Amino acid sequence: MANVLIGICGGIASYKVCDLIRDLKREGYNVKTILTPFAEKFLSPMTFETLSGNKSYTDKDWPKEPLAHINLARWADAFLIAPTTANTISKIACGIADNLLTTTVLAYGKALIVAPAMNTVMYKAPQVQENLNKLKEIGHIVVEPEFGVLACEEVGEGKLASKERLIDWIYYYLEEKGLKGKKVLITCGATKEYIDPVRFISNESSGEMGFSLAKICRWKGAQVKVIAGFTTAQEPPEIEIKRVKTAEEMRKKVLENFDWSDIVIMNAAVSDFKPVKTESKKIKKKERITLELVKNVDILEELGKIKERKILVGFALESERLIEHAREKLIRKNLDLIVANPAEVMGTKHHKGFLITKEEIKEFSFSSKLESARFIVEYLVGKFLQGGG
């Protein structure tokens, strides 16, 4: 796994880096840290050495290791500075190298991941914003701080980005950009077809597969939009998500965004049927009621008729004759790729099935839907975007 170097500046948010390091280690990353002199006033190097399992570097190490800044820069696959103070932002923007951290920044010579954290008035100061814009112009990634109650008890922008966002940006930074310049539209989750104001027809889709696909596509450089029905999985950070409830709402939102997209991945578990009539008031309890259903419009089939040169990916969930039914859908709906899954994968962590095109069938099985999503997206890139087909 990759080497991640974390520069820690002197701010109260530095304590949050402890959990970040712990999670990165769980993910398999090798982590080293550099503390500025003021960061040592908040937490000791021993804290970070214990969590990372590696030496934590400070300015005191320079006399013993005069090439520490060069060696650390060469070692790092990704370089995150969190929290980044106004002082360090200004130094990086101006090329000042007056401590081990800022000197290592110059020796690194590649894009940094910079996560500011400070009082909201300081963050919005014209000088700080000008320096952050300089960092962006140079090519550094600035992970914008979050809105909330700050340590000074003021409310506003300035909170250090969550560890989930920071880890997501590290994944983004390290990923090959096979989808750079592409726009990917993804649907996920379950639709709800209402019987009355409180009752509805739905299914057990969690949305985890669609959210995983969105993460992988973003990490690979795509601009991603997600249209989501009801979901229980955690939303991916840094991705635009539009919420809908019914199949018809999803259809309208997909068609609104269809022209924008280059690739459309229809992962949502859209209800096949809806009630002929939705009651305006809650139905009173009875011994028996008859519910008449009508077929919903097949959004994927509709897109297949107008797709032109777009790449269109569908999913098929079947309880029997999986490959046979999936191939029939592939042809009938004019898809480029269909992911065929047995019914038991819905709502579970484990994911298995088949990738089916007009030319081939590839079986897969992974312990997580994120792994499956990576397999699907990398297959799509290799098959349709790099001349593999």
Report pLDDT digits (tens) over 145-178: 988 877 767 778 889 999 999 999 999 999 999 9
- In the predicted structure, residue 388 carries a pLDDT above the cut 60: no
* Same domain? 29 vs 166: yes
CB atoms within 10 A of CB 289: 9
- Of 139, 174, 209, which residue constitutes the final position of a domain? 174
The CATH number of the domain holding residue 61 is 3.40.50.1950
Q: Domain end: 148, 174, 200, which one?
A: 174
Residues 233, 127 share a domain: no
Characterize 70-109 residue by residue with b for buried, 16 or more Cβ atoms within 10 angstroms of its Cβ, and e for exposed.
eebbeebebbbbbbbbbbbbbbbbeeebebbbbbbbebbe
State whether 167 and 206 are in the same domain: no
Instruction: Verify that 190 and 262 share a domain, yes or no.
Output: yes
Phi, psi of 119 (to 5 degrees): -55, 145
240-243 vs 361-366, strand pairing mode:
unpaired
Residue located via tokens 């042809």 = 331
Instruction: Find the domain containing 236 and state its range.
Output: 183-385
Beta strand pairing call for 3-8 and 193-194: unpaired
Assign residue 286 the CATH number of its domain.
Answer: 3.40.50.10300
Question: Shortest CA distance to 382 belongs to which of 176, 169, 172, 168?
Answer: 176
| Residues 330-365 pLDDT 10s | 999 999 999 999 887 766 778 899 999 999 999 999
**pLDDT, tens only, 204-246:** 888 999 999 999 999 999 999 999 999 999 999 999 999 999 9
Q: What is the mean pLDDT of residues 52-70?
A: 94
What's the pTM?
Answer: 0.91
User: What is the reported pLDDT for 389?
Assistant: 47
Residue 125 shares a structural domain with residue 187:
no
- Tell me the three state secondary structure of residue 313: strand
CA 230 – CA 234 distance, rounded (Å): 12
What is the reported pLDDT for 363? Answer: 94
Mean pLDDT of 35-49: 96
d(CA 379, CA 126) in angstroms, rounded, equals 46
pLDDT band at 1 (very low <50, low <70, confident <90, very high): confident
Verify that 270 and 229 share a domain, yes or no: yes
Strand 113-116, strand 141-142: pairing: parallel
153 and 194 belong to one structural domain: no
> What gap in Å lies between CA 84 and CA 163, rounded to an integer?
14
Q: Verify that 291 and 149 share a domain, yes or no.
A: no
Residue 374, token pair as written in the block: 């990576």
Active site residues: 152
**Is 372 in the same domain as 225?**
yes
Number of domains in the chain: 2
